[in-house]
A and B are shown apart, each in its own frame.
Chain A
């Protein structure tokens, strides 16, 4: 009996430690978000007060944001760019990963290593060549200029290839006998089997592009083509920073990211359970 008591005590100590750590983590992450939402309902003279509930809550920042600035346009820009890039990455990275995984051809390993090695080059190093390229091709200040560096990603190819390794060749052979061509097999048989990986890749890519700052700032010159992060930065001037507007814009911008995550996370969990092969 005594032993059992000690054992139970050890468990409750362990639990307390875990919960404490989680609580610290949650507070550290949630505090800035709470302040962001709180500040978006404050007038500018109250903005440096640390009270969470504003003394005079107001929607004026939101009204100003949507009526007096081009924020809505930035939102649309961000949405278009993130969506197009995400679909492009899902399609091409899956196709390349599938090809590298399921087909044997000369130079396959070299191609894969070449794609992997792009992961080792930081974005900061790439922006200059990208800029020169965009400049020569007349892509500066255009949608395509904003999107092209992200249309395919080495990380996505790697992720998809690893997941396709787990798809047994028998599925593909069965489909070949069923009379599908190789592209149909990819779309109708292989892709649905890697839904979890696709969902994860979609979340990463969408969020990465939604929050991307450096390249959109470099490649755009007119405010009409700004994405949200670039637009928000424009609220911060040389002599004055409109904090309440930055907070309001950031608050609006964070909602779609939450939505994307909520929409896609169930696929990740559900998709892990595959039942077509023997258990």
Chain B
């Protein structure tokens, strides 16, 4: 059993507060993604769980044990780093087995574990290579192999895909998801990419300035963002915000806006007149950017649409799927 419990965690360097009073309960075998813009404290939080940073106040529990004062090696965790952190002077085999050798396992046990991990990650043919001879994706798989062989209670991933190109990132995303289903271990995963968060997570924790904005399943966050920050962070392209004279903001996603001429029949709608300022064909769909009384509106239109920039258009908003926020940006 490896629940991870963070209670009233605080972290400050000198007098600068990085994380102020944060609490999360992570279930056994759960895949939790910590997401937020850079500087929000998500990596610091992960490093505190790993034991690579001290906590200023609070209590971290992994499984049944309070780990506040434990060394990283005693916490029964494994970590995958953004830049892989593979030892360049060692072969893949040695990299993966390094921790096991430090733990003084027998040679036979080490070999068995490394071979199992190599098989799961399709690294068997690469065991004699040095990191310099591997591609980015292979290096990240080795780095995951190093984590797997430790048989940890919790996997920690620190932005593991940010150094890969878009195509490889999608592949590796699927592999990490598969890995979670194979090893069935608690995973805490840090990213700034909302697509990774949405596709991988059982639950997402959104952070901003060291504070939790919302915790929930990806669809919870998408359908019921508690404030404007969460609403704009989750979903791509970003949600549109239209503010009225009273300061109330209507948030509406690009996929809930239609060109009035070819809109489906919907219950609650509103039509507005706007001017097209940008058209970006993406194949299956076309992104339209329009100006509505000084507010920029993004629309996800079908790929067949072809309009002229500068043209006046009428947009139908599916207000039924809209979100209302008050002056402070809190959901009404």
Residues of A within 8 A of B (CB): 168, 170-171, 173-180, 184, 189, 192-193, 195, 273-278
Contacts and interface: CB of A to CB of B under 8 A. Distances in A.
B89 interface: yes
B218 interface: no
A278 B81 contact: no
* Residue picked from A168, A171, A184, A274, most chain B C-beta under 10 Å: A171
Interface in B138-153: 139, 146, 150
A208 B139 CA distance: 42
Interface string B128-145: 001111001001000000
A276 B52 contact: no
B200 to A, nearest CB: 21
Contacts of B232: none
Interface in B66-112: 71-73, 77-79, 81-89, 98-99, 102-103
B88 A174 contact: no
B52 A173 contact: yes
B88 A275 contact: yes
Nearest to B104: A179
Top 9 nearest A-B pairs (CB, nearest first) are A275-B132, A276-B88, A178-B99, A179-B73, A170-B85, A174-B85, A192-B89, A179-B102, A276-B86
A171 B73 contact: no
B163 interface: yes
A146 B235 CA distance: 72
Contact of A193 (B88, B99, B136, B150): B88
Nearest to B133: A275
B100 to A, nearest CB: 9
Contact of B81 (A174, A184, A193, A275): A174
A212 B84 CA distance: 45
Nearest to B164: A278
A223 to B, nearest CB: 45
Contact of B84 (A180, A184, A278): A278
Contacts of B103: 179
A168 B82 CA distance: 12
B50 interface: yes
B131 A171 contact: no
Contacts of B89: 192-193, 195, 276
Given A170-B85, A274-B132, A276-B85, 15 more contacts: A171-B87, A173-B85, A176-B72, A178-B73, A178-B150, A179-B99, A179-B103, A273-B132, A276-B88, A277-B85, A277-B86, A278-B83, A278-B84, A278-B136, A278-B163
